């Protein structure tokens, strides 16, 4: 796919930094992320592909907000995701992101969106993702309780 195939394209919008990688390692508590407590992380260290989940989610939420009147991020539910790492991104890489909604189905007030994203560094595709998210909206969905609870559950600016 070319950049023009995506509804949104953000050039050089995300830099992979050592401290972000360290934080990711601590947050995931993965034994396969040895740099969580390392003081020095070499610049060419490969980064787990889900390291870009935060900027990808923010871009997807922005696109959904354009599609849904009175959008409330608290009504989103992550259903599934596939991630394909073509080549690892590394500390110091500056990534560009592209995203598009490739499918939307509505049933009983619940919208199911398929959002495709790509992460490129220096014009080369490094990571491709496809996520399905559900959005509860409309009168049939009974969203009053969801709206009331959302501020206490959703951490805005964080990965859901």
Higher pLDDT, 68 or 127: 127
* pTM for this model (two decimals): 0.77
**DSSP summary character for residue 70:** T
pLDDT tens digit string along 53-101? 888 888 888 899 998 888 888 888 888 899 999 999 998 899 999 999 9
Domain residues for the domain of 97 are 8-16+47-152
Contacts of 139 (CB under 8 A, 6+ apart): 109
Residue 128 within any structural domain of the chain: yes
CATH number at residue 129: 3.10.129.10
Considering the domain boundaries, does residue 112 fall inside one? yes
Note whether residue 42 is domain-resident.
no
At 17-50, the pLDDT tens digits run 877 777 777 777 766 555 655 667 777 778 888 8
Q: Is pLDDT larger for residue 23 or for residue 130?
A: 130
Q: Greatest CA span in the chain, whole angstroms?
A: 53
Residue 155 pLDDT: 44
Q: Is residue 104 part of a domain?
A: yes
For residue 146, the model assigns a pLDDT of 54
What's the count of helices (H) and strands (E) in the chain, helices before strands? 3, 7
Q: CA dist 58 to 77, 98, 99, 109, Å?
A: 14, 12, 11, 23
CB 133 within 8 A of CB 64: yes
**Does any domain span residue 25?**
no
């Amino acid at each position: 796919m070319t950049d023009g195939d995506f509804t949104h394209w953000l050039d050089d919008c995300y830099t992979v930094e050592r401290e972000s990688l360290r934080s990711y390692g601590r947050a995931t508590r993965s034994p396969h992320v040895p740099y969580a407590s390392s003081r020095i992380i070499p610049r060419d260290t490969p980064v787990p592909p889900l390291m870009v989940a935060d900027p990808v989610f923010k871009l997807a939420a922005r696109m959904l907000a354009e599609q849904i009147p009175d959008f409330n991020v608290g009504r989103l539910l992550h259903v599934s995701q596939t991630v394909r790492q073509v080549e690892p991104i590394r500390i110091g890489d500056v990534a560009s992101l592209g995203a598009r909604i490739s499918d939307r189905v509505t049933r009983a007030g619940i919208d199911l969106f398929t959002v495709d994203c790509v992460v490129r560094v220096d014009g080369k595709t490094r990571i491709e993702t496809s996520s399905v998210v559900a959005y509860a909206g409309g009168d049939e969905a009974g969203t009053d309780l969801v709206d009331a609870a959302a501020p206490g559950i959703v951490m805005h600016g964080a990965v859901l």
